[in-house]
């Protein structure tokens, strides 16, 4: 099986512009939602923002993680030519950042995403500490 | 919140070429993997194939679903222009298809994906019955 080595997994995570966050949902079992993120060491930083339209910043993903911190983030490369497919999955535990942790997290996100440079654009952030990295490439 | 109506969610699911399947993992809590699929009524058909390179067709997603059928499939539209973002999530319960159920499932997949027209390309299939549909669009 053409698995990707750990450093290649991290490199592809670092380059990816968006991914899918999966968390545990009390009733539905699992949830999945697209996310943007920044990679810092082996930690993924995920924003709760006021940029993309939403009814509330009390997001379901926050409630899920408060109840069960298990989470994973998947990035993948889709192509109709299946010899070009690949994916990387980072699994671990997520938690809310608060207090002094928030400013550097927002700075890391603002470096990657222009809309986050506006003050107040990111109102909270999650950190996913990577315990397991798995990657696959078709060729 | 700019949620999408149910028929629009189904239409976007039907058009999407690939998605991310999230399942419950006994130890990691959640798993996520990219998948191709076909939509038939309110059921999603997902293949286990011999086309994309893999060590075994005894996939982790099958073991996950045997232990806990909770699953969801997410499709999304990524764009650096965030006013064009959207996603649709279909949540429900998944199970393996077998016996007489397999042939029509493979036929539905082969209609959408050329590589599946070769005999033996799909060796098993999962069905995700959609209990809940949720969709979001930035504009």
Residue A47 has pLDDT above 70, yes or no: yes
- Kindly list the distances between the CA atom of residue A113 and the CA atoms of A74, A116, B51, in Å, as whole numbers in the listed order: 19, 6, 37
Count A/B contacts: CB-CB distance under 8 Å.
Answer: 107
Q: Do B28 and A91 touch (CB under 8 A)?
A: yes
β-sheet bridge partners, residue B30: B24
Q: Do A78 and B115 touch (CB under 8 A)?
A: no
Please name which of A73, A74, A50, A59 lies closest in space to residue A25, comparing C-alpha atoms.
A59
Which pLDDT value is given to residue A111? 97
- Interface touch B132/A53, C-beta < 8 Å: no
pLDDT tens for B11-67 read: 999 999 999 999 999 989 999 999 999 999 999 999 999 998 888 888 899 999 999
- pLDDT tens track for B85-114: 999 999 999 999 989 999 999 999 999 999
Question: Nearest-CA distance from B71 to chain A in Å?
Answer: 6
**Residue A56 pLDDT class (50, 70, 90 cuts):** confident
Domain assignment present for B124: yes
> Tens digits of per-residue pLDDT, B119-139?
999 999 999 999 999 999 998
Nearest to B69 by CA among B92, B44, B43: B92
Distances (CA, A) of A102 to A36, A46, A131, B52: 16, 11, 22, 41
How far CA A95 is from CA of A79, B37, B117, in Å, comes to 33, 32, 45
Separation of alpha carbons B71 and A32, rounded Å: 10
Contacts with B32 from chain A: Cβ below 8 Å: 20, 22, 32, 72-74, 89
The answer to whether B132 faces chain A, any CB pair under 8 Å, is yes
CB-CB under 8 Å, B32 with A89: yes
Q: What is the pLDDT of residue B53?
A: 87
| Cα B35 to Cα A8, A80, A105, A108, distances in angstroms | 22, 12, 31, 31
The total of structural domains in chain B comes to: 1
Tell if the CB–CB gap between B51 and A82 is shorter than 8 Å: yes
Report the run of H or E that residue A76 belongs to, with start and end.
Answer: strand A70-77
Q: What integer is the mean pLDDT of A102-123?
A: 96
Task: Let me know if residue A21 belongs to a domain.
Answer: yes
Average pLDDT over residues A27-50: 95
The CA distance from A99 to A111, in Å, is: 20
Separation in Å, CA of A108 to nearest CA in chain B: 18
What pLDDT does residue B81 have? 97
Residue A1 maps to a domain: no
Cα dihedral A79/A80/A81/A86 (nearest 10): 30
Would residue B55 count as lying in a domain?
yes
Q: Is residue B1, in this structure, part of any structural domain at all? A: no
pLDDT over threshold 70, residue A1:
no
- Per mean pLDDT, which range of A23-27, A93-97, B106-110 is the poorest? A23-27
Percent above pLDDT 90 for chain A: 87
Chain A contact for B75 (CB, 8 A cutoff): no
Question: For residue B69, what is the domain's CATH number?
Answer: 2.30.110.10
Substitution target from A13, A17, A20, A76 for chain B, most B beta carbons within 10 A: A20
ipTM for this prediction: 0.95
Domain span including residue A129: 6-137
Is pLDDT above 90 for A101? yes
Asked if residue A57 has pLDDT above 90, the reply is: no
For chain A, percent of residues with pLDDT exceeding 70: 99
Closest C-alpha among B78, B81, B75 to residue B37: B75
What's the whole-number mean pLDDT along residues B75-80? Answer: 97
Does residue B44 lie within any of the structural domains?
Answer: yes
Closest Cα in chain A to B88: A33
DSSP secondary structure letter of residue B5: P
List of chain B residues whose C-beta atoms are within 8 Å of the C-beta of residue A139: 53
In sequence order, the 6+-apart residues with CB closer than 8 A to the CB of A68 are A23, A24, B29
In this prediction, residue B32 carries a pLDDT of 97
At B31, give phi and psi (nearest 5°). Answer: -135, 155
Terminal C-alpha separation, chain B: 10
């Amino acid at each position: 099986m053409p698995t990707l080595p750990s450093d290649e997994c991290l490199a592809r995570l670092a380059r990816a512009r968006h991914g899918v966050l999966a968390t545990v949902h009390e009733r539905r079992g699992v949830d999945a939602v697209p996310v943007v993120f920044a990679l810092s060491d082996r930690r993924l930083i995920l924003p709760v923002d006021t940029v993309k339209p939403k009814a509330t910043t009390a997001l379901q993903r926050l409630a899920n993680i408060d109840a069960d911190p298990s989470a994973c983030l998947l990035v993948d490369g889709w192509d109709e030519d299946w010899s070009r497919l690949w994916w990387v999955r980072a699994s671990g535990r997520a938690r809310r950042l608060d207090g002094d942790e928030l400013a550097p997290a927002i700075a890391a996100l603002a470096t990657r995403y222009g809309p986050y440079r506006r003050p107040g654009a990111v109102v909270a952030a999650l950190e996913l500490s990577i315990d397991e990295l798995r990657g696959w490439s078709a060729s």
